Chains A and B, each alone.
Chain A
Amino acid sequence: MAFPADYRYTKEHEWIKVDGDTGTIGITDHAQDSLGDIVFVELPKTGSDVEAHKAFGTVESVKAVSELFSPVSGTVTAVNDDLATAPEKINSDAHGSWMIKVKLKNPAEANSLMSAADYEKFVAEES
């Protein structure tokens, strides 16, 4: 399992990629695999605020509902609308299927999250 080395990861299985003061957020391949066939994604509106460790949306597979937790605090600058009509893209490419882009309140905040190696270890221990 390859988790991109330039992403950071949460214990709730979200990833974030930081470029300057922008964070791009999605769920990990491990998360999509646990959920199964994803059929529904509910995301916040552009301009709304998200808070670190707080729910910002929902992802649903045929059999389960899962809340999405924001890895960082900030303001939503873009939402991936493709996922509303094609949520199954998360199953086929979780690390490429971003959900929201956020203008970071504190660009250093993501540094405290898990690295790819740490996350891989975390997933191995959790299962």
Chain B
Amino acid sequence: MTSPQPAPPQLERRQALVDVRLFMQRRSAVVGAVIMIVMLLVVLFGPLIAPYSPSIPDYAHILAPPSLKHLMGTDEFGRDILSRILWGARLSLAVGFIGAFASAILGTPIGLATAYYGGWFDDIVMRIVDIILSFPGILLAIGVIAILGPGLQNVIITIIVFGVPMFARIVRGSAISIKDLEYIEAARAGGATNSRILYQHMLRNLVGPITVQLTLQMANAILVASSLGFLGFGAQPPTPEWGAMLAEGRMFLTIAPWVDIFPGVCIFLAVLGFNMVGDGLNDMLDPRLRR
């Protein structure tokens, strides 16, 4: 009984999320976190440090290549691309944040409830989830846009339409794996109500997988939003949303590639940052991958 056994994996799992040291050991996760922080700073202070207006045309400097005056060059209206990117960060990233958070807030209770109650309720809800997720992500988004019309607000709605079932499915999966554990049974035996078990005991232990999914969902939401912007279904020109900037700049790919390079790099970096952090968190939470 007293043999020095290693700690059970459950304990290790719960500590992992708050273990900053473990996170710092993963170089890619740290790089991702740095990118995320830079992006956040740009969202907060971008317009303040932008050297030019994002919208006022300057016809004397149309399609100027990158220079000291315009670090990322100018577009077909002579607008400074760096300034537009700094302003547009709010739109491109906000869509990701809002879409992913709203999906988590709506999808998590559904996943928890289906796992906990099971039965016909679970069957029906999960069947609906299967049906919605039978439409490949961006195609569902385009379908919803076809109904609602283009616009940034509708892009957020499409992301939520796809994100909620995704969260419900993942939270349900994780919740099923813990709902028969002894401490849940103990709570029930101790007279805890259903809602107390769900929120106090189960939700707390699912914070890890939910955080991972939230981070990856943000990456995905930014990709979908920029793709919709590029297709002309999201933010409309002259809004400096990054995907919409690429749609405008597409015509100048042959003569002024910088118009297309920099907004794309920003989308790529934002998505990369969230993916790296999500991946790092995922590895930390999964003891099997620690080798």
Whether A associates with B in a native complex is: no
